[in-house]
Amino acid sequence: MAGRHLLFAGVGVAATGLAVAGIWVPGLPTTPFVIVALWAFARSSERLSAWLRGIPLLRSAIEAADRYGRERTLPLWVKVVSQSAAWASAVIVLLVTGSVWIALPVAAGAVACSVFMFATPTRRPSDSAQDQPRR
């Protein structure tokens, strides 16, 4: 059992690192990695879960992940930003590398993002004033 908890803790720490990197790296999402980290820490350690929730840089991503967990909806601005970043990343990788083979996995990720965003209901603007990005 200890090995399983250690595995989940490792996944959570790695996802947390990617989430923090996603704050500064264009095209690297933050919230999906926070969701993975929350999931992994929930299966490994309450202490690590509390630690993640206490990271100030990830506060808005954690709030978005919690809201998604409760309602299974996303605000329109989240869908627009994620789609824009996903497809812009695919185009930028293609232009910078000039290689379709390198850009193809990024484009596949953009397609997966598009499918997920299409399948997820859009939260109505009247549902909450908290749906706007923080500035």
Which candidate, 71, 90, 72, 94, places its Cα nearest to that of 27?
90
Calculate mean pLDDT across residues 12-39: 85
Q: What's the pLDDT score for residue 134?
A: 46
Full-model pTM: 0.65
Rounded CA gap, 74 and 133, in Å?
Answer: 12
Question: Which one has a higher pLDDT value, 51 or 125?
Answer: 51
- Distances in whole angstroms, Cα of residue 113 to Cα of each of 54, 60, 70, 108, 130: 28, 20, 20, 9, 23
Tell the residue number behind the tokens 């004033």, with chain if given.
Answer: 129
Last residue of a domain, one of 71, 87, 116: 71
Whether residue 2 is found in the same domain as residue 43: yes
Whether residue 65 is found in the same domain as residue 102: no
Whether residue 78 is found in the same domain as residue 126: yes
pLDDT, one tens digit per residue, over 59-103 is 888 888 888 888 888 888 778 888 888 898 889 999 999 999 999
- Whether the per-residue pLDDT at 23 is higher than 60: the answer is yes
Whether residue 64 is found in the same domain as residue 5: yes
Neighbours of 23 (CB within 10 A): 12
Rounded CA gap, 113 and 79, in Å?
Answer: 9
Whether residue 59 is found in the same domain as residue 82: no
- Whether the per-residue pLDDT at 127 is higher than 60: the answer is no
Whether residue 64 is found in the same domain as residue 85: no
